[in-house]
Structure 1
Amino acid sequence: MSSLINPSTIRNSNILEVNMDSQVKYLLSLQAVRDRAKIVGEAAEAGNLTHFDLHKDKLDDAADFVTSVIKRDFGPDKFDTIPPHGRWQHFEVGGVPRVADMTRAWKEEGEGGCDDVELSRRLIDLFFVSVLLDAGAGDHWRFVEPGSGRTYERSEGIAVVSLYMFKALAFTAEKEGGIPKVDGKGLEQLTTEALTAGFQVSDSNPMLGVESRAGLLRSLGKSLLAHSDVFGAEGRPGNLVDHMLKTAGDSSKLDILIFWDVLQTLLIPIWPQDRTTVNGFPIGDAWPLSTLQKQSKSTDSADHIQPFHKLTQWLTYSLMVPFQRVLGKQWVNAESLTALPEYRNGGLFVDLGVLSLKKETLDRGLEVSGQSLPLFDAGDDAIVEWRAMTLVLIDILYKKILERMEGVSLSMAQVLEAGTWKSGREVAAQRRPETKSSPIIIKSDGTVF
């Protein structure tokens, strides 16, 4: 067993395959995300990062700025209305209550309407597909909403598109009856052309990774059908509702760690297969990192891997909400989830001067891009180090923000929503108003960011 693995952190879940290598189980866990990032943080404290310099003197300024954004938008007495970071509010961009309007229509349909359990299934169906489509769209893609003519971009634009496609039965093979849902066969049959049309992609409206996104959903369809014990013979994501209610029994509480095991078992097989493997097993959004290798005395390459599982965590944050809002369930072990290591959260620290690229790495990125901002592949060592430091710094920033909130208690999910993610986006728009891009550009395949 790897010298960096703590056996007590590995869950002996009956969802995870019993014959899975212990190193793999560990690297698929939430605990491993923080454990490995902590090692990177220690390297930063010692000035031993490979690609970045840490400027700790800028952290208080960053905390002041993020806190000011939270207070500006929710102060002085609306902090309890901050939603957790999740997909729900993206559907309501432009102040349009699309989810509320849709669920009200569901409630009114047919004899007896749609009860809360079925309503939750449908929301899980929608959120599941929408989150997995929500990698970076690029700086040029826009979606014009039918009827209103309003234009949306980035995460909110992808959310609105996915809602329209969901309502049009684009993700289900069962077209009869007109019930919006998602099922395995519908996803298996989804063509790149259908996704291109739905997203209004064209030469003049380009989007990153359309083929990869369509391929990801087709792979999801296969995996859903292969896990009928949870998702039923139809391979419906919404059947997670029934599974989690069954695990809870008479309790009003659901366990994030059980939920996590289910999602990892489902999703690990769908990610591109040319990524990191350990003992022949793919481990998804987890990457070799030179900083870990330098910090470790181990020669085992598995000890040098930094896991993130960003899209799965983003999905987890998003799926938690319907269970809470519609079914009144509460989650335990939610603190096991981490910040999201993506370009808005990470860009905040670069734009505010907390992190800066070392000259050699910066020059390499600029040479690749040929422009004013450095460009790297998603699996580049510099990007992996940046993402690990994003986790480290948000944990530090979270504590500093709470100190500045004068007794107001906020969860990490609320700080991500109203604080770091929003602040990262605002600073990017101020500094690069034409593109609103990250200060470091990532060549994404549409399945990571």
Structure 2
Amino acid sequence: MGLFSRKDKTPKGDQAINTSQSNVSVNSHSSSLRSPAPGANRNPLNRTSATSTSPGGPMSPVKLPKIDLPRPPDPQLDPAGYLRSLGAVRERSKIVTDKALRNELKHFDVDMGKFPDVRDYDAPFLSIPGHGRYQHFAVGGRDRIAQLLSTWPTNVDNTERCRRLIDLFLVSVLLDAGAGTSWQYKSNENGRVYRRSEGIAVASLEMFKTVDKDGLKNLTVEKLAAGLQSKPGNEMAGIQGRTDLLIRLGEALAAKDDFWGFEGRPGCLIASSMLIVPLPVLWNVLMTGLAPIWPANRTAINGVSLGDAWPCQAMPQPGASPKVSAFPNSSNAAAWESILPFHKLTQWLTYSLMQPMQQLLKMHFAGTELLTGLPEYRNGGLFVDMGVLNLRKDDLERGLQNYNEWVQRTGAKGVEVAPMFEPSDDVIVEWRGVTVGFLDMLCVEVNKALKPELGGNELTLAQLLEAGSWRGGREIAEINRPNTKEPPILIESDGTVF
């Protein structure tokens, strides 16, 4: 039961997942591609992908045969389906990016003269893996995933090893929606203290020994708080939202046994290995199989929740369409054109889940170029801290007022004041939209600047995220705000977006 099928078992491989090397051999004799079920994909095929660079390895493009990729649904006929597609993220964000290049955004002044400063922000691009959850488990230079693999008996084959890592990675990614300023985690194994994404990674590794539908459905706030060491003085932001998300994950695993097997495990999306996987296949499994986990108050069209997609004033604002229902918590209907999709957590999941499948099962993904830069506060914060994006005065004052109210409401210490907004605020939605476009531009500019050093290769967007924009955004935040290390614009997280 699962998405991928192969009759022969994969030979047992090395214990470690080598995320710095991706020129793996293709076991074509032991892999096969299952044809989709009748009617499973009625969309015409019009896109091809002939080259794929594994997010697991630097400078090693893997040549794949041309594979047709499914066209996204026609937004005029199926706007919800279109906005849930991966291709819509880049296509719709381009509208906001084009306005940014003309300095016509609603909430930011744009100084493209500062863009070269972002491009030249130093990073060791020549020896980096792609962006993914794996690297967070290796905090402190210790490969915890390799150590975990070494503890499993030798009769556990690579397919089951991959399933177990997917179980862990999926829960760990869903938990990683911004930890807040004060939270930290003391490892039960070595007594060291970790914070932010790395802290959540280590906590999830120590907390979740197995993952299935029953365990997740029985999760409580108290259990999760204990596992994350969240308590007064060490609060994890959005602990209730994270708990609800994982409980809904358990329900989703139980409801879709065609995706998650009768065991109700995330890893059951793999029955066995395929040689080449069109990325939209994995994307559709994650978007469809995990659709029930997102909060009910998210943007919806005709009753179909869009997940991480939001109305944005910088997008076209046509009149109401009879096909489109009112947004939750709003008395006004809006057309699909005004919605800006991101699907950040699902993209982060995709980047992360590909890593064990590529390395343990030697799978290759066609169409990875469809993935975008992640629209989150580290990548977006880099453009703000470097002066490319400057919050306009009225929004700055409103954000500072929001922050003051948040401090009074929560009792938090206002050490380093910064404007704060909710994830649905138009400032945040616009900021995220332009971040997607700017990351594409940044990747092009960095490749131009490093052309003599790259020796005919190209830096991938996944590598840029890992060693450039995400890491750079964190580093400059630490320089500009050394006490909290927070981004220049704060987001009042509910634990389900960032």
On whether the aligned pair clears a TM of 0.5, the verdict is: yes
By how many angstroms is 1:417 displaced?
A: 0.4
Which one of the candidate residues 23, 26, 32 is aligned to 2:82? 26
Is contact 2:384–2:488 with CA below 8 Å preserved after alignment? yes
2-side partners of 1:147 and 1:156: how far apart?
Answer: 15
Match in the other structure for 1:83? 129
One-letter amino acid of the structure 2 residue matched with residue 381 of structure 1: D
RMSD over equivalenced CA pairs, Å: 2.2
By how many angstroms is 1:94 displaced?
A: 1.1
Matched, 1:205 2:242: no
SS at 1:356 equivalent: strand
By how many angstroms is 1:298 displaced?
A: 8.0
Which one of the candidate residues 472, 480, 490 is aligned to 1:431? 480
1-side partners of 2:103 and 2:242: how far apart?
Answer: 38
2-side partners of 1:125 and 1:147: how far apart?
Answer: 21
Equivalent positions of 1:410-449 (< 5 A) are: 410-449=459-498
2-side partners of 1:202 and 1:116: how far apart?
Answer: 39
2-side partners of 1:360 and 1:268: how far apart?
Answer: 36
Matched, 1:346 2:391: no
By how many angstroms is 1:419 displaced?
A: 0.8
SS at 1:53 equivalent: strand
Equivalent positions of 1:278-427 (< 5 A) are: 278-293=301-316, 301-370=335-404, 372-407=417-452, 408=454, 409-427=458-476
By how many angstroms is 1:21 displaced?
A: 6.7
One-letter amino acid of the structure 2 residue matched with residue 240 of structure 1: L
2-side partners of 1:380 and 1:267: how far apart?
Answer: 25
By how many angstroms is 1:83 displaced?
A: 1.1
Match in the other structure for 1:52? 108
SS at 1:223 equivalent: helix
Matched, 1:229 2:258: yes
SS at 1:254 equivalent: strand
- List structure 1 segments (4+ residues) > 6 angstroms apart after TM superposition: 7-14
Match in the other structure for 1:177? none
Is contact 2:319–2:335 with CA below 8 Å preserved after alignment? no
Which one of the candidate residues 215, 218, 229 is aligned to 1:189? 218
2-side partners of 1:28 and 1:10: how far apart?
Answer: 19
The one-character-per-residue Cα deviations of 1:270-293 (angstroms, maximum 9, x if unpaired) are: 111111111121111000000103
2-side partners of 1:10 and 1:314: how far apart?
Answer: 26
The one-character-per-residue Cα deviations of 1:4-28 (angstroms, maximum 9, x if unpaired) are: xxx97999999x99xx971111000
Match in the other structure for 2:18? none
By how many angstroms is 1:349 displaced?
A: 0.2
By how many angstroms is 1:45 displaced?
A: 2.3
Is contact 1:184–1:220 with CA below 8 Å preserved after alignment? yes
SS at 1:290 equivalent: coil
One-letter amino acid of the structure 1 residue matched with residue 129 of structure 2: P
The one-character-per-residue Cα deviations of 1:310-339 (angstroms, maximum 9, x if unpaired) are: 000000000000011111111100000000
Match in the other structure for 2:201? 159
2-side partners of 1:70 and 1:346: how far apart?
Answer: 20
2-side partners of 1:21 and 1:186: how far apart?
Answer: 40
Is contact 1:254–1:332 with CA below 8 Å preserved after alignment? yes
Equivalent positions of 1:169-184 (< 5 A) are: 181-184=210-213
2-side partners of 1:287 and 1:197: how far apart?
Answer: 33
User: CA distance change for structure 1 residues 56 and 135 in 2, over 3 Å: closer, same or farther?
Assistant: same
1-side partners of 2:198 and 2:464: how far apart?
Answer: 19
Is contact 2:421–2:428 with CA below 8 Å preserved after alignment? yes
1-side partners of 2:381 and 2:83: how far apart?
Answer: 25
Is contact 2:443–2:459 with CA below 8 Å preserved after alignment? no
Matched, 1:141 2:183: yes
1-side partners of 2:316 and 2:449: how far apart?
Answer: 37
Equivalent positions of 1:80-119 (< 5 A) are: 81-106=127-152, 109=153, 112-119=154-161
2-side partners of 1:64 and 1:442: how far apart?
Answer: 27
2-side partners of 1:133 and 1:240: how far apart?
Answer: 20
SS at 2:233 equivalent: coil
One-letter amino acid of the structure 2 residue matched with residue 220 of structure 1: L
By how many angstroms is 1:410 displaced?
A: 1.7
The one-character-per-residue Cα deviations of 1:230-273 (angstroms, maximum 9, x if unpaired) are: 21112111011217x3xx4xxx2111111000100012221111
Match in the other structure for 1:218? 247
So what's the TM-score if we normalise by structure 1?
0.86
Is contact 1:339–1:391 with CA below 8 Å preserved after alignment? yes
User: CA distance change for structure 1 residues 301 and 337 in 2, over 3 Å: closer, same or farther?
Assistant: same
So what's the TM-score if we normalise by structure 2?
0.78
Q: How many residues align?
A: 406
One-letter amino acid of the structure 1 residue matched with residue 187 of structure 2: E
User: CA distance change for structure 1 residues 9 and 364 in 2, over 3 Å: closer, same or farther?
Assistant: farther
Match in the other structure for 1:3? none
By how many angstroms is 1:147 displaced?
A: 3.4
Matched, 1:270 2:326: no
One-letter amino acid of the structure 1 residue matched with residue 237 of structure 2: L
One-letter amino acid of the structure 1 residue matched with residue 263 of structure 2: E
By how many angstroms is 1:46 displaced?
A: 2.5
Report percent identity of matched pairs. Answer: 48
User: CA distance change for structure 1 residues 9 and 384 in 2, over 3 Å: closer, same or farther?
Assistant: farther
2-side partners of 1:238 and 1:259: how far apart?
Answer: 12
Is contact 1:323–1:329 with CA below 8 Å preserved after alignment? yes
SS at 2:421 equivalent: strand
Is contact 1:255–1:333 with CA below 8 Å preserved after alignment? yes
One-letter amino acid of the structure 2 residue matched with residue 91 of structure 1: F
Where does the alignment leave 5 or more consecutive residues of structure 2 unmatched?
A: 1-42, 48-67, 322-333, 405-413
By how many angstroms is 1:307 displaced?
A: 0.3
Equivalent positions of 1:6-21 (< 5 A) are: none
One-letter amino acid of the structure 2 residue matched with residue 188 of structure 1: K
